[in-house]
Structure 1
Amino acid sequence: MTEMLFASQILLWVAVIALGVLVAALARQVGVLHERIAPAGALTLHQKVSVGDAVPAMQLATIDGRNVRVGGRREGRSQLVFFVAPDCPVCKSLLPVLKSVASAESQWLDTVLASDGDELAQHHMVAAFGLEAFPFVLSESLGRGLGVSKLPYGVLIDEAGRIASLGLINSREHLESLFEAKERGVASIQDYLTRRDREA
């Protein structure tokens, strides 16, 4: 009986050690995989505009009767044009994020919301999400001119009136990647990572 108990204890310790080795190996593989997975940036779709293209200044009316200038040279300030729609669930989930980011980056960034369609629905969305501080324009031509095909979509225009970065926005990470791409002087975070891998 004692011999069987001793043998079972040995087998148990062998199993525990083997399990520990397997967990360590798995943890190492997860670490390797994490290093290989690049941070996701805003997805740039096939569009007719590119980073570096000039955005001519446009005077547009907002839904509350004000005027806002989109594009063109802006002294010391960049401009984010964020395209949304009342019937877009992802857009609605990102509006609190947009408000937070716009507030945090307000020293250098002006944010404009853009859409098209039913003006009454846009007013309801503005009221529901507390977006009164943002200029909100309804302009199908603005969306077409900036190559917007899916929502939510962001276009960051730099101080010189040129597109600094753009892409489909599905998360806070995507939104912040527009700023990161501008800071690094690249078309997108994916472009930066591709260049870095080539140089490595």
Structure 2
Amino acid sequence: MTALVCGNVLLTVVLLATFFVTWRLTRQVRRLFREVAPAGALTGSKGPQPGDTCPSGPFRLLNGAAFSPADGREATLLLFVSATCPVSRKIIPIAQDFCRKERVDLIFAGDDASEVQQRFAQQSGVKADHFVNDSVIGRVLEVDKLPAAFLLSSEGVILSRGLVNSREHLESLLNAWESGFTTVQDYITHRKQQKIQTV
């Protein structure tokens, strides 16, 4: 009988110790998440920045129609991709799913030869009326690395921009716009300044 009581007491102590360790660990993980900076799309200093107006075009779509960033749509994600870029192939289905769930229009852009672009769009499951095939827009926006993304307002104003190769990068473009910070880097700088002021 005594052994049974001792066993129950020992089990209770171990259980309470487990609860305490779990509680401490949860607090540490929460603190770690507050300290770790979010992984955002890398924003370059070249070319038009958030707040600037995207060139109005019109630019040629693969189906021969014209596309203008300031055509009164909802927010539009303009994603520059290429048939020769393996990361572009990876990001296309991710961007399609992301924009469908976030209710953001998605327009792809590139400047390959028309036949190459048509084949690439078919292989990637992109409709011809959602693919800009025009070298001018890339030059004006100074796109030098792929895949590059620009989140545009219905008036064609750049809300956020950056290089994207994951869903988290795409989310960071929306987060930057919704939070009022043009980039995640601005958010990190703001957090550091807040810490300095509170010290």
- Scaled to the shorter chain, the TM-score interval is 0.7 to 0.9
Per the TM alignment, residue 151 of structure 1 is displaced from its structure 2 partner at its CA by 0.1
The CA distance in 1 between the partners of 2:59 and 2:118, in whole Å, is: 17
Per the TM alignment, residue 159 of structure 1 is displaced from its structure 2 partner at its CA by 2.8
Is the CA contact 2:80–2:147 (under 8 Å) kept in the aligned structure 1? yes
The two structures, once aligned, show a CA RMSD in angstroms of 2.4
Match in the other structure for 1:176: 171
Name the CA shift for 1:35/1:198 in 2 (closer, same or farther; >3 Å): same
* Alignment match of 2:133 (pick from 115, 120, 138): 138
The CA distance in 2 between the partners of 1:196 and 1:160, in whole Å, is: 31
State the 4+ residue runs in structure 1 displaced beyond 6 angstroms: none
Match in the other structure for 1:5: none
The CA distance in 1 between the partners of 2:56 and 2:162, in whole Å, is: 20
The CA distance in 1 between the partners of 2:177 and 2:135, in whole Å, is: 26
- Which one is further off, 33-42 or 121-130? 33-42
How many residues are aligned here?
Answer: 173
List runs of 5+ in structure 1 lacking aligned partners.
1-23
1:101 matched to 2:94: no
Match in the other structure for 2:159: 164
Match in the other structure for 2:17: none
Q: 1:178 is paired with a residue of what secondary structure?
A: helix
List runs of 5+ in structure 2 lacking aligned partners.
1-21
* Alignment match of 2:144 (pick from 145, 149, 152): 149
Identity of aligned pairs, percent? Answer: 34
TM-score by length of 1: 0.76
Is the CA contact 1:55–1:163 (under 8 Å) kept in the aligned structure 2? yes
User: Equivalent residues in 2 for 1:1-200 (5 A)?
Assistant: 31=29, 35-69=34-68, 71-72=69-70, 74-75=71-72, 77-106=74-103, 109-132=104-127, 135-200=130-195
- Which one is further off, 55-64 or 112-121? 55-64
Give a deviation string over 1:136-160, Cα, whole Å, max 9, x none: 1112110111121100000111133
TM-score by length of 2: 0.77
Per the TM alignment, residue 61 of structure 1 is displaced from its structure 2 partner at its CA by 1.7
The CA distance in 1 between the partners of 2:126 and 2:57, in whole Å, is: 22
